[in-house]
Amino acid sequence: MTRFGRTDLPPEQARALRQAIGIEVFTICYTAVTIVVVALVLGNSQAMKTAWIEDIFSLTPQVAFLVALIFVRRRPTKRFPFGLHRAMGVGHLVAGVALFVVGANLAFEAVTGFVEGDHPTIGTIVLFGQNLWLGWLMIAVMAVIAIGPPFYGRYKLKLAKKLHNKLLFADADMAKADWHTNAASIVGVMGIGLGIWWLDSAAALFISLGILWDGVKNTKAAVLDLMDTRATSYDQKHTHPLIGQTNELLGGLRWVRKNAVRMRDEGQVFHVEAYVVPHKSRVKLSTIEAAERAIVGLDWKVQDVNLIVVSELPPEADASLPDR
Amino acid sequence: MLKRSPLSLVALALVFALAGCGSIPADPDGTLEQVTDGVLRVGASPDDGLISVAGNEVSGDEAELVEGFAETLNARVEWTIGGEERLVGQLDTGKLDLVVGGITDATPWVESAGVTRAYPAMPGADGRNIVMLVPLGENRFLGELERFLDAAVGE
C-alpha cells in the first residue's frame, strides 16, 4: 500500500495517497450519478449533449490514476529494473489523447450544427401534475451538479502537490474548471428558451474547445515526461528544485571538484544520475556511497540514485544551483 | 480550461434576468404567433384508426384532436394530404406547422422535425406511442401543443 517501486512513502505521502484513492473513488461515484441524471434530461440541446459527453470522459483521469496505482506500487524486477512508475505517465497520455479526440469531434459537431442552422427542439414534461418546459429542468440539474467539482478539485490539487503526481494534478485542474462547462450549457439552454437557437451551438463549441484544450495540455505534459524531460515541479511550471539542491549538496563535498546531474521524473519518483569530477583520481568506495546516501536523504522522491565518477562532465547534465 | 472570469458570471446573471421578463421558451420563427387567430397548416398521412381521408375531408381521432387544438388557438385548419417524407420536407421548409398520421416515437424524422412526447392513450392509437411532428426548434408552439394533448388525451 505505501510503496512505490523501491520507494517507501513517508507517512505524510502515504496518508495523502490514501486520501487521493478515496477522493478518486468518490469522484467516480459522483460523476456516475451526474451522468445518469443528465441523461434523463438530455433533450436535443447540443450544449447539453457536449457537457454530458465531457462528464463521461472526465472519468478517464481518475480511472487511469487508479489503474496506474496497481502497477506503480510493484517493486522493480529483473524485467522492469526501474520499477513500473511510468504506468502513471502512460495513463496520463491515454487520458490526454482521449480528451483531445473527443473534444475535436464535439467541436466539429458544434460547428456543423451552427452551419446547418440546427434549431434545437426542447419540449415539455409533466412534473407533479404541472406542465414544465424541460429546459428549466436542464438548467436546474446543471446548476446543482456544478457544486461538487470546484471543492474536490481544490482538495485534489493539494494532494497532487504532496504526492508530486501530475495525473492527479491534471485531474484537479480539470475539476476546478468544470463549472465553465455547466455555465456554458446553461447559457446554451437559455438561448434556446429565448429563441436564440445559435447560442446552443456556440455554448457547445465553447465546451468542446475546453475539452480539446484539456486534451492538448495533458498529452503535452505526459509526452514531455515520457520523453525524459528534465524533472519539473508537479504543475510543470518550473525546473524541479531538487536538481539545484543535489548540485548544491555535491558542490559542498570536499572531494568534489565539479558536479552535474541528470534527473528525470518517472511519474511520481525521480531517477537520478549524479556526475562528479573528483579532485584526486582515487576515490574511496565508502565516500561515493556516503554521497549517494546523502542525495537519497534529500527527498522521498529520490531513491534511485547513481553516483558516477568521471574525468569530465557530460555537457547535457545539469550543473545549475537552486534559485536564491 | 479557461481562467475563471467574473465576466461569465455576469453573463449568466444577465441571462437569468432576461428569463424573468421574457416568455420562455420562445419560437425562433414565431409559429405560435402566426397560427393564433389564423391558419394552422397541418400535413396528414392516412393511418388506420387515426386519420381517414375521403376526398377533401379529413377525419379520425387524431384529426379531431388537431381540430380541437386549432380551436384553442382560434385558428382554422388547412389540411395537406401526402406521404410522410413529402410532409416532413414541407414542415422543414416552413410550409406546414404540424404533421400527423399515426407517427410513433420511433420515428426516423428526428433530424428534420421536432417531436412531441408520446401519447399512447390517444383514442385509436391501439397501444402505439403516437407523436406529432412540429417545425424544429419551435419550442413555444411545441409546448402549447403538448399542454393541449396532456389535457385532451392524458399523458
Cβ separation A192–B139 shorter than 8 A: yes
Residues of A in contact with B115 (CB under 8 A): 121, 123
What is the tally of structural domains in chain B? 1
Cβ separation A123–B12 shorter than 8 A: no
Residues of A in contact with B135 (CB under 8 A): 119
Q: Average pLDDT for residues A305-314, to the nearest whole number?
A: 92
Q: Is residue B40 part of a domain?
A: yes
Among A252, A310, A303, which residue's Cα sits nearest to residue A281? A310
Cβ separation A124–B117 shorter than 8 A: yes
Cβ separation A121–B143 shorter than 8 A: no
Q: Is residue B17 part of a domain?
A: no
Residues of B in contact with A190 (CB under 8 A): 15-16, 18-19, 24
Locus of grid cell 527527498: A299
Cβ separation B1–A214 shorter than 8 A: yes
Mean model confidence pLDDT for chain A:
90
Residues of A in contact with B139 (CB under 8 A): 121-123, 133, 135, 192-193, 195
Residues, chain A: 324
Q: So what's the pLDDT on residue B21?
A: 43
Cβ separation A121–B18 shorter than 8 A: no
Residue B55's domain spans which residues? 31-153
Name the residue among B19, B136, B155 with its Cβ closest to that of A190. B19
Which three-class secondary structure state does DSSP give residue B87?
Answer: helix
DSSP B111: G
Mean model confidence pLDDT for chain B:
85
Q: Is residue A227 less than 8 Å (CB to CB) from chain B? A: no
φ/ψ of residue A63, rounded to 5? -65, -45
Q: What is the pLDDT of residues A250-304, one digit of tens each?
A: 999 999 999 999 999 988 889 999 999 999 988 899 999 999 999 988 998 888 8
- Identify the CATH number of the domain in which residue B124 sits: 3.40.190.10
Number of Cβ within 10 Å of residue B14's Cβ equals: 12
User: Which fold is adopted by the domain A3-226?
Assistant: Alpha-lytic protease prodomain-like (1.20.1510)
- Element containing residue B155 per DSSP (H, E): none
Q: Taking 70 as the threshold, does the pLDDT of residue A184 lie above it?
A: yes
- Segment 184-213 of chain A within 8 Å of chain B by CB: 186-187, 190, 192-197, 210, 213
- The predicted model scores a pTM of 0.84
Instruction: Give domain limits for chain A.
Output: 3-226, 241-309
Which three-class secondary structure state does DSSP give residue B27?
Answer: coil
Q: So what's the pLDDT on residue A42?
A: 85
Q: Is residue B67 part of a domain?
A: yes
pLDDT band at B54 (very low <50, low <70, confident <90, very high): confident
Smallest CA–CA distance, residue A293 to chain B, in Å, is 42
Q: CA A231, CA B137: separation in Å to the nearest integer?
A: 53
Q: Taking 50 as the threshold, does the pLDDT of residue A109 lie above it?
A: yes
Q: Is residue B121 part of a domain?
A: yes
Q: Is residue B56 part of a domain?
A: yes
Q: What is the CATH number of domain A241-309?
A: 3.30.70.1350
pLDDT band at A321 (very low <50, low <70, confident <90, very high): confident
Q: Is residue B7 part of a domain?
A: no
Q: Average pLDDT for residues A230-234, to the nearest whole number?
A: 90
Which three-class secondary structure state does DSSP give residue B58?
Answer: strand
Among A170, A193, A173, which residue's Cα sits nearest to residue A47? A193
Which three-class secondary structure state does DSSP give residue B144?
Answer: helix
Backbone dihedral region for residue A36 (phi beyond 0: left; psi -120 to 50: alpha; all else: beta): alpha
Q: Is residue B149 part of a domain?
A: yes
Name the residue among A119, A133, A186 with its Cβ closest to that of B136. A119
Q: Are A317 and A261 in contact (CB under 8 A)?
A: yes
Query: How far is CA A210 from its chain centroid?
Result: 15
Q: So what's the pLDDT on residue A3?
A: 47
Q: Are A72 and A168 in contact (CB under 8 A)?
A: no
Three cell numbers at A120?
434545437
Q: What is the pLDDT of residues B78-135, one digit of tens each?
A: 999 999 999 999 999 999 999 999 899 999 998 899 999 999 988 888 889 999 999 9
pLDDT band at A4 (very low <50, low <70, confident <90, very high): low
Give the residue numbers in B contacting A (CB under 8 Å), as ranges.
1-2, 4, 8-9, 11-12, 15-16, 18-19, 22, 24-29, 114-117, 134-139, 142-143, 146-147, 150, 155
- Segment 88-147 of chain A within 8 Å of chain B by CB: 118-126, 131, 133, 135
Q: Considering only residues B110 and B17, tell me which one the structure prediction assigns the higher pLDDT.
A: B110
Cβ partners under 8 Å of residue A262, min gap 6 = A272, A273, A275, A314, A316, A317, A318
Residues of A in contact with B25 (CB under 8 A): 122, 133, 135, 192-195
HEC secondary structure over chain A? CCEECCEECCHHHHHHHHHHHHHHHHHHHHHHHHHHHHHHCCCCCHHHHHHHHHHHHCCHHHHHHHHHHHHHCCCCCCCCCCCCCCHHHHHHHHHHHHHHHHHHHHHHHHHHHHHCCCCCCCCEEEECCEEEEHHHHHHHHHHHHCCHHHHHHHHHHHHHHHHCCHHHHHHHHHHHCHHHHHHHHHHHHHHHHCCCCHHHHHHHHHHHHHHHHHHHHHHHHHHHHHCCCECECCCCCCECHHHHHHHHHHHCCCCEEEEEEEEEECCCCEEEEEEEEECCCCCCHHHHHHHHHHHHCCCCCEEEEEEEECCCCCCCCECCCCCC
